[in-house]
Each structure stands twice: as C-alpha cells, then as structure tokens.
C-alpha cells in the first residue's frame, strides 16, 4: 500500500467516524431575526426534531439586526465544527447582497446544509375588486397602465420583488406603495386604499378565510396545503414558469466537514416526513422542504441570480 492510498483510507475512516459521532454536544442555531418571526419559528420546529433524532440539544440563539446580516455574518465567521448553524433565509442571503453592501459573500462564506421550508405568497385584493379570478385581474390591470396600486412591506423586501416579477411576467404596469411592514400594508388593502398585494400565505390565510381579502392565486409552482382551493398564478393567470416564494434553510460556516452537513441534511429530510411537523407548518402557511447540500448550493446560486435580475430590471434602490 503506497503512502497516498494509506492517507486516503485514513481520511475516509476519520470522516466516517466524525459523522457517526456527531453531534456529541449541544448545537447552536443562530437565528438572525427576533423570536416569533417566520424564520425563527421554522428553525425551532426543525431543531426540536433534530434534537429528538440525534439526542443532543439544538438551541436557537437569536441575533437580530441589520436585516438579518448581523447574525448571518456571525455564522460566516464562526468555527466550522458543525456546532454552529445558521437559520438562513431569502432576505440576507438571496436579496440583500444585490441591494446593498454586506460583510459576507453568501455563496462563499456559508456552507449549505438543507432547505427546511418554502413560504409561498398569494395575490390578494379587496373583496369588492371587480376581477373574479386571476385571468380577469391580469386583463383588467394590463388594460389600465398605472391606474392600480400594489403594496409591499418595504422597498426591496421579498414581497416587493415577488410582486415586481409577477407584474413583469404578466405584462402589468402598476404603482408601488411601500410600507414599513406587511401589517400596515394589509390594513390599507383591506381598507380599500390599495388595489392588490402579493404577501406570504402565512400573513394572509386568516384574512382570506374570514372574507376580508380575496385570493386569486399563489406564487408557488404547485398549490399550497394552507390554501388548497386557491390555484397557482402560473396556471390561473397563464404565466408559465412563475414559481417563487421565500425560503428558509440551514447553513454552516465555510469549511464545515461535508460528512457533518450530509448527516444533518439526511436528518432534516427524515424530520420533514413527521406528521406533526407537517401539521405545524400547515398552521404557519409554510410548505416543508429539504434537499442535499449540493442541491441547496445550486438553489442559492439560482435564487441570487434571479433576485439580482429582478432588482436590476425594476431599477430598485434602497436609500
């Protein structure tokens, strides 16, 4: 046996032993948002499952601030030993780097583990809006450029970009009205001051079921369990390829052993099959998701490119 072969065998054995032993102490999950926010809740739901499956505590550590960039940067600079993870999400990873300077490169300074949730959006109007379905909505707004208004939770927010992509693909020209958060935006929509919005199903489901808002379609490529009777916009508005939503996942510091990220990914895939997790996600308006580290890396590249293109094409700037 030559020296290289002996080294390779010892490396593979060491990697297998590491994965088998991991974790042997508590794992910290940095959540770059306040407690109760969607990313925080989804991360905690999965952490509970990982704790049950792997026999070690998975503890959330909230590090909010600067649109999620503070906590994200902390993980990018953390020790790559598998005991610090990031509750990653669309804003600080896929969107913010195309809008402003951040202290990390999301495609180089983080090691993907797995997606854990997709949060679809829905197109909603006031119940009195004349269009009865998505096809009628598109025809009406397209025929009246700049007559109608749409809201978002802020310039450059995920809801804003989801709306801009919808408008572009549907050939609509409408006026954007940004708010500081989705709650006041939805309040004005329900009050009749705004014509339409695309917001997360999680924030809309209660209003839709109570009849305060009319849902015309969801932004995901397939129907969401939270609103099973609402069609996709790709189908109902005849916009082939329109498939977008906020994502949430786990990532690790760069250099984290691949055996560790592969093990975590496999355990997350297992967790996603649990009926109680699916039920919890349903109540949150989220869809379960999982993939391999390589698949998540590819997903992150495509998401950053897509959001960067939306920002560029719509000439969106954050002051």
Are 113 and 137 found together in one domain?
no
User: Alpha-carbon distance 114 to 111, whole Å?
Assistant: 10
Alpha carbon 190 to its chain's center? 25
Same structural domain for residues 43 and 130?
no
Domain boundary (176, 211, 236) is at 236
**Is residue 98 located within the same domain as residue 56?**
yes
Res 318: pLDDT: 84
Specify the CATH number for the domain of residue 136.
3.40.190.10
Which of these, 138, 246, 156, lies nearest to 196 by C-alpha position? Answer: 138
Together in a domain, 129 and 106: no
**How many other CB atoms sit within 10 Å of the CB of residue 26?**
11
Task: Give the pLDDT of residue 1.
Answer: 56
Question: Is residue 61 located within the same domain as residue 73?
Answer: yes
CB atoms within 10 A of CB 212: 15
**Residues 145 and 98 both lie in one domain:** no
What dihedral do alpha carbons 176, 304, 220, 46 form, nearest 10°?
Answer: -120
CB atoms within 10 A of CB 270: 13
Coil, helix or strand for 300? helix
| CA dihedral of residues 5, 7, 8, 13 (deg, nearest 10) | 130
Looking at residue 10, its pLDDT comes to 45
Domain that holds residue 214: 120-236
pLDDT in tens, the chain (319 residues): 565 554 444 444 445 555 569 999 999 999 999 999 999 999 999 999 999 999 999 999 999 999 999 999 999 999 999 999 999 999 999 999 999 999 999 999 999 999 999 999 999 999 999 999 999 999 999 999 999 999 999 999 999 999 999 999 999 999 999 999 899 999 999 999 999 999 999 999 999 999 999 999 999 999 999 999 999 999 999 999 999 999 999 999 999 999 999 999 999 999 999 999 999 999 889 999 999 999 999 999 999 999 999 999 999 998 7
Calpha distance 184→156 (Å, rounded): 17
Q: Specify the CATH number for the domain of residue 300.
A: 3.40.190.150
Q: How many domains, in total, are found in the chain?
A: 2
Residues linked to residue 250 through DSSP beta bridges, in sequence order = 87, 114
Q: The tokens of 295 are what?
A: 């698949």
What's the confidence (pLDDT) of residue 48? Answer: 97
Please tell me the predicted confidence (pLDDT) of residue 17.
Answer: 53
CA 111 – CA 252 distance, rounded (Å): 5
Residue 3: per-residue pLDDT: 55
Joined tokens for residue 126: 């006031």
Say if 15 falls within a structural domain.
Answer: no
Instruction: Give the distance, in angstroms, between the CA of residue 19 and the centroid of all CA atoms in the same chain.
Output: 28
Which has the closest alpha carbon to 58: 267, 259, 253, 275?
267
What's this model's pTM, rounded to 2 decimal places? 0.88
Given 216, 236, 256, the domain boundary residue is 236
> What is the separation of C-alpha 184 from the centre of its chain, rounded to a whole number of angstroms?
22
On whether both 194 and 262 belong to a single domain, the answer is: no
């Amino acid at each position: 046996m030559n020296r290289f072969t002996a080294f390779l065998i010892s490396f593979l054995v060491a990697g297998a032993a590491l994965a088998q032993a991991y974790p042997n102490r508590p794992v910290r999950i940095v959540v770059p948002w306040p407690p109760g926010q969607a990313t925080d809740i989804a991360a905690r739901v999965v952490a509970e499952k990982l704790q049950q499956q792997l026999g070690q505590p998975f503890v959330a550590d909230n590090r909010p601030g600067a649109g999620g960039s503070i906590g994200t940067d902390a993980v990018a600079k953390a020790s790559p030993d598998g005991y610090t993870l990031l509750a990653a999400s669309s804003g600080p990873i896929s969107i913010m780097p195309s809008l402003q300077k951040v202290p990390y490169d999301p495609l180089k300074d983080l090691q993907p583990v797995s997606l854990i949730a997709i949060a679809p959006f829905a197109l909603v109007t006031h119940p009195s809006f004349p269009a009865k379905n998505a096809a009628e909505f598109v025809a009406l707004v397209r025929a009246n450029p700049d007559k109608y208004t749409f809201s978002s939770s802020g310039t450059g927010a995920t809801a804003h970009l989801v709306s801009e992509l919808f408008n572009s693909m549907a050939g609509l020209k409408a006026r954007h009205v940004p708010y500081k958060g989705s709650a006041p935006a939805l309040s004005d929509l329900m009050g009749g001051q705004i014509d339409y919005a695309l917001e997360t199903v999680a924030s809309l489901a209660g209003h839709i079921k109570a009849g305060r808002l009319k849902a015309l379609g969801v932004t995901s490529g397939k129907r969401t369990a939270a609103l099973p009777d609402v069609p996709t916009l790709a189908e109902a508005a005849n916009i082939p390829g329109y498939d977008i939503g906020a994502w949430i996942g786990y990532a690790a510091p760069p250099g984290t052993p691949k055996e560790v990220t592969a093990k975590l990914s496999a355990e997350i895939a297992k967790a996603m099959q649990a009926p109680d997790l699916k039920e919890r996600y349903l109540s949150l308006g989220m869809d379960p998701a999982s993939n391999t580290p390589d698949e998540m890396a590819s997903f992150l590249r495509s998401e950053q490119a897509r959001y960067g293109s939306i920002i560029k094409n719509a000439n969106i700037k954050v002051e």
